[in-house]
Amino acid sequence: MTKKRVAIIGVGLTKFGELWEKSYRDLITEAGLKAIKDAGIEGADVKELFVGSMSPGLFAGQEHIGALVADNAGLTGIPATRVEAACASGGIALRQAYTSVISGQSDIVVAGGVEKMTDVPTGIAMTALMGAGDEEWEAFNGATFPALYALMARRHMLEYGTTIEQISMVSVKNHANAKHNEYAQFQYEVTLEDVLNSAPVAEPLRLLHCSPITDGAAAVILASEEKAKELCDNPVWITASALATDTLALHDRKSLSQTNAAIIAAKEAYRRAGVSVKDIDFAEVHDCFAIAEILAIEALGFCKIGAGGKYTEDGHTKIGGERPVNTSGGLKGKGHPVGTTGIAQAIEATLQLRGTAGKRQVKGAETGLTHNVGGSGATAVIHIYEKD
């Protein structure tokens, strides 16, 4: 039996950053309209909508997101659903849209992500973000996400000899990539010394190890294989979608230095796509903190568990390296509007496979992967993409 495929036929992205002049609805409407235009379709062609948004109530005072997005995009009448899975909200919105198409329920579906995070004081933003962790065991006792990832970093350093310089090289690389991304929040390079000498946040993590608070939105148009061939000359195919979970609280994990949900999801994604690690030409991974990229490349099998620091130091994750990671600049350089990130990752994968990523282009890219994480790793969603 011929395997069904789902295509990305249109993409739309806003600038990421502190976008004081734009509202929550402005952002998602802009991204959605750009995606529809890129796909060359009309709004009336869209049959269903999924939008990832982690905490719009606390960030923007707005709930009932599915209806709001459909309304502002001129798509009232269609099924419209908000998806929440902390920082993996966008990735799971993409998964829901993929499932709708591959099941035959709808032939053209929008998957979007949006967050407006900078209109509230930092303390409120931190409270909202800690909703992605365990309120009773972590947030109530004063833990923040920098603290949780600092624990993971310290354990990785203890077990495997990973150095703070190796962790810092993730930030240096991703800023260098973001320099060439017109949508990125931080379009400038940093040096290793800049990272090491930046303000301490949670030992051993410093400011330039941490992703920022960001506004932004992204949208993609998914289509069935039949519709894609009818509408698009350069479809990018989603060949696998896999989701796994782990314990919510970090202290309940089997290991502080591994992300088991990502390990499980990656194995399932490779199986579904019929590919191996060696087939992956590039990846967008969830580097909310620099240590998270090292944990991600290990979970994905790019290197052995514990070897992520050395793999990074040896240049394998740079553009031109064995397997480029976060060519967009990642969450660190591009920015991290939490509900948007999973969709923005899919857009970078699409640009790479279309061959339109400019100075960030990975030569000969044929297969890519995105890795989107919720919280400290309690949720992980992996997608694999291929071009014809």
Q: Which amino acid is at 347?
A: I
DSSP 329-340: -HHHHH---TTT
**6-121+214-236 and 132-209+239-387 agree in CATH topology:** yes
Look-up: residue for tokens 């099924």?
79
Give residue 1's pLDDT band: very low, low, confident or very high (50, 70, 90).
very low
| Measured distance CA(237)–CA(28) in Å, rounded | 24
- What CATH superfamily classification does 132-209+239-387 receive? Thiolase/Chalcone synthase (3.40.47.10)
CA angle 258-139-371, nearest 5°?
Answer: 35
pLDDT exceeds cutoff 80 at 253: yes
Fold of 6-121+214-236: Peroxisomal Thiolase; Chain A, domain 1 (3.40.47)
Output the pLDDT for position 280: 98
Element (H, E) at 213: none
Say whether 87 is catalytic. Answer: yes
Q: In terms of Cα–Cα distance, which of 240, 315, 171, 244 is closest to 6?
A: 240
Q: Which of 156, 175, 286, 336 is catalytic?
A: 336
In this prediction, residue 200 has a pLDDT band, given cuts at 50, 70 and 90, of very high
Report yes or no on whether pTM surpasses 0.85: yes
Diameter of the chain by CA atoms? 57
How many whole angstroms separate alpha carbon 119 and alpha carbon 122? Answer: 9
pLDDT in tens, 149-175: 999 999 999 999 999 999 999 999 999
Annotated active-site residue in 87, 210, 288, 303: 87
Mean pLDDT of the 105-115 span:
98
Q: What is the pLDDT of residues 24-72, one digit of tens each?
A: 999 999 999 999 999 999 999 999 999 999 999 999 999 999 999 999 9
Neighbours of 201 (CB within 10 A): 18
Q: How confident is the model at residue 271 (pLDDT cuts 50, 70, 90)?
A: very high
Domain limits, the chain:
6-121+214-236, 132-209+239-387
Cα radius of gyration rounded to whole Å, the chain: 19
Task: Report the pLDDT value the prediction gives residue 44, as an integer from 0 to 100.
Answer: 92
Cβ 157 vs Cβ 142: under 8 Å: no
Residue 71 phi, psi dihedral angles, 5° rounding: -60, -50
Average pLDDT over residues 250-256: 95
Provide DSSP, 136-186.
Answer: TTTGGGT--HHHHHHHHHHHHHHHH---HHHHHHHHHHHHHHHTT-TT-S-
pLDDT in tens, 113-156: 999 999 999 889 999 999 999 999 999 999 999 999 999 999 99
> How crowded is residue 21: how many other Cβ atoms within 10 Å of its Cβ?
6
- pLDDT at residue 2, as a whole number: 56
Q: What are the tokens at 51? A: 């939008």
Q: What is the pLDDT of residues 323-366, one digit of tens each?
A: 999 999 999 999 999 999 999 999 999 999 999 999 999 999 99
232 in catalytic set: no
